[in-house]
Amino acid sequence: MPSAKTVNLDLHAMSTLRYIRDSMDAAGGVAVPGSAGIAMGVVGLIATALSLTPQFAPHWFAIWLAVAPVGVLAGALLLTKQASVGAFIASGTPGRKLALGLVPSLFAGAVLTAVLWNVGSIAAVPGTWLLLYGCALISASVSTKAIVTWMGACFVVLGVLAMLSPTEWQVPLLGLGFGGLHILFGILIGRGAHGR
């Protein structure tokens, strides 16, 4: 017959194991703040608005190239604001895993953008960006929350849709992805972080 002390010890051990497991899960992942997605989405909506303005519409490609670094910088600053950039990407940390998940697809997108521009096929750029960004998010989701996988899947679907759509849909689809999806998932991630 077990004593009361044995039962208390078992409860304490289970509680300790749960704490250790939660700590290891937290250390193995990157907490992506919803504010990073929202900031990147706002930049995407600004680019979309400018690109759909009649006087700027012929320059949509240059507009998106100009605002892309702004969006990336805003997202990166909000992502790393809790820690120094060096600590964030140090060897063996979750930040390094996140970077290794993102960079290959983003690099492929940059190379394909240059190739498509060089051959005069910039109409294929929006689909390429959406598709490869989605693939980057899916790869990076290994070190983040599962919701990032769903966000990546939505970008992939939009990328395929853009590849099959008429030219006049390209900029709106870019805005729906880099503006709308970033804001939507930023809100969902932020609500999840606050337990709502």
CA distance 140 to 150: 12
H or E element that contains 11:
helix 4-27
Could you report the per-residue pLDDT of 103-137, keeping only the tens digit for each? Answer: 888 899 999 999 999 999 999 999 999 999 999 99
Among the listed residues 150, 160, 140, the one whose alpha carbon sits nearest the alpha carbon of residue 181: 150
Q: How many helices and strands (H and E) does the chain possess?
A: 9, 0
Write down the pTM of the prediction: 0.76
Query: What DSSP assignment string belongs to 123-160?
Result: GGHHHHHHHHHHHHHHHHGGGS-HHHHHHHHHHHHHHH
The pair of three-digit structure tokens given for residue 42, joined into one six-digit string? 């706002």
H or E element that contains 195:
none
Among the listed residues 30, 44, 34, the one whose alpha carbon sits nearest the alpha carbon of residue 151: 34
Identity of the highest mean pLDDT range in 67-81, 136-150, 172-186 = 172-186
